[in-house]
Structure 1
Amino acid sequence: MPQLWPQTLGPVICVVGARPNFMKMAPILRAFAANTPAIPTLLVHTGQHYDRDMSDKLFEDLRLPRPDINLEVGSGSHAVQTAEVMRRFEPVLDEHKPSCILVVGDVNSTLACTLVGVKKGIPVVHVEAGLRSYDRAMPEEINRVLTDQVADLLYTTERSAADNLAREGIAGDRIRFVGNVMIDSLLSNRAVARQPADTLKAAGIDPVILDTDHGYGVVTMHRPSNVDHPEVLQSLLGVLREISLSLPLVFALHPRTKGNIERFGLESLIDRERMIILPPQGYLEMLGLMAGARIVLTDSGGLQEETTALGIPCLTLRENTERPITVEQGTNTMVGRDVEAIRHHAAETLAGRSKSGRTPELWDGHAAERIAADLAAWLMARQS
């Protein structure tokens, strides 16, 4: 007779709010369903992500079930968005009486739902805990630090995260090193990733530009420190234009970046013959583009991990990273906004002298299974 989830334990409420959360939650939900006993879940989408069409596509691409509840919070300032998530999330807890709340990553919804849970005495589980950039100017860093301080159970992606948590006074018995659920998603979807040529055709672009001797590069850029200041954005676009003369670049243009290029009058720095401008892409499209690229230039945290797993050289356009393992063991190189460093490392990659890297420990596609087994045992132990 199959083992059943105790009736005295409520469901695990799993929270997603913005694009990065979806890739992390998809393998977790599948692992919960396949666990023995199966772990009942309630998927809550806070609606933090502002692009409803893109959210719908991500659910489809990642084979995520439709949310059981959508709080439909929408965009707003950090304060307004966080407060509204908290206000709308509390009645969900009152109605469904979960055994715990599981949050992922570092977006506003992560912190907001954590605060509601701990104030109501409901255990909170944080997946992707302990990552630190040590840059308090990043809103995500504040979300990470505060979530980890009050969460009951912390699942980490790399061993250095435990050291970060220990420095902040967090007891070791709250920490579990399980690996990276983002890589679970990547490995399970790589075979069905969309071919780069098909992605360009769908955008009405002739894919022949991808068939050069050197291949192509991929660019994403959205962080305020890179795109909100005209002189910084101008400098970065200038060096990207230079690189595109040797290597065509596919630029998935974030709405914030697009708006600022127009507002600052920098359109002339986009060489439409060598820089392919695309709107924000779905998960399977971006995965295919990255997997086929010679190099990725980005300020995204998740892409640093994905390029390391794919073995693709990555130049990170930031001064710091909360994912140091991608630099120490992977294919990631921090170049900041230093034009000379960007130019140099891009040239090294084209000359075949880029970092080779290796796959970090437990980035094996089974992190979610480890989380499911451990969480089920932890919840049952708390009940006894």
Structure 2
Amino acid sequence: MNILVTGGAGFIGSALVRHIINNTTDSVINVDKLTYAGNLESLKDIEESERYSFECHDICNHKEMQRIFKAYQPDVVMHLAAESHVDRSITGPSEFIQTNILGTYTLLEVAREYTSTLDKDKRDSFKFHHISTDEVYGDLPHPDDFEEPNCEDVLPLFTEKTSYAPSSPYSASKASSDHLVRAWLRTYGLPVVITNCSNNYGPYHFPEKLIPLVILNALEGKPLPVYGEGNQIRDWLYVEDHARALYEVVTKGQVGETYNIGGHNEKKNLEVVQSICGILDNLVPKEKKYSEQIVFVADRPGHDKRYAIDASKIHSDLGWKPEETFETGLLKTVKWYLNNQSWCKSVQDGSYKRERLGQLKGNS
């Protein structure tokens, strides 16, 4: 297949591109605007492949998207291009509206125009795969909400039928794009499939996100900031497991279906930070414990309490399940950052110093 991947120089996108080039015979057309979080250094290993092409363009540019579709004749589209950091969306929501909503609209329209020109066989096999987030569902009840101990067995999970209740400008923009994608299926018959994933982690993650931020700050002796009391729970998914799942969905998933992708790893944020500190204590020991660098800071506005994915549908329908546990995946991740300090330096262009983002006036 010719697979058009948007946002293929980002964290999840680059993992997907590497997976396709290294593990299939398909070709990839990577369309990426190369904002601060997109970096071609993440694709060095595959950039010389004859099956890989790169186009540096904004998905909001209708004319350029038309040209790319016409020139490369994709068999499927895997749409990952998005602004994705909640803290940035709190202080600057405009870019999120532009890229996540208007960019998705542009791609849907170009894909609709393009499929109308295809012969029946190619049109029938075409798919528009929209990659989204579990944050569109809002948050779930937290164990701290229950009086009885060991209540985890009765706590609900996000399913593909969970109602949308986004909390941040980021999640609201992704929810909006999900709704657009479904509308283009129902109104125009565009063959679409949607996936909603839990928190990703792994190599090549831009250091504004929790895990790489903590690793790099710890190594430099800087504070390790934890929001509130660190009780917020996330379901952690190793990015290479996610890439495998995405490929299964685009090749085997049914048009019109939604598939939730999760790692089966619910962890409190404080637990995650402490786990990183424990690994570093073993791999790069120093006089004091890394956990002594943990500091608690004012919580994020509108911070969701708990995310947790029910990924039984993608397992039963497509046979996918994660290969990494949180422990094995986190160890691989920490080791990768220790061995790739040059990448970490190259992606931080000087405009971001790993300072806290997303604060409202009066918060500290």
Same fold (TM over 0.5): no
Query: If the length of structure 1 is used for normalisation, what is the TM-score?
Result: 0.37
Query: If the length of structure 2 is used for normalisation, what is the TM-score?
Result: 0.39
Structure (1 or 2) with the greater helix fraction: 1
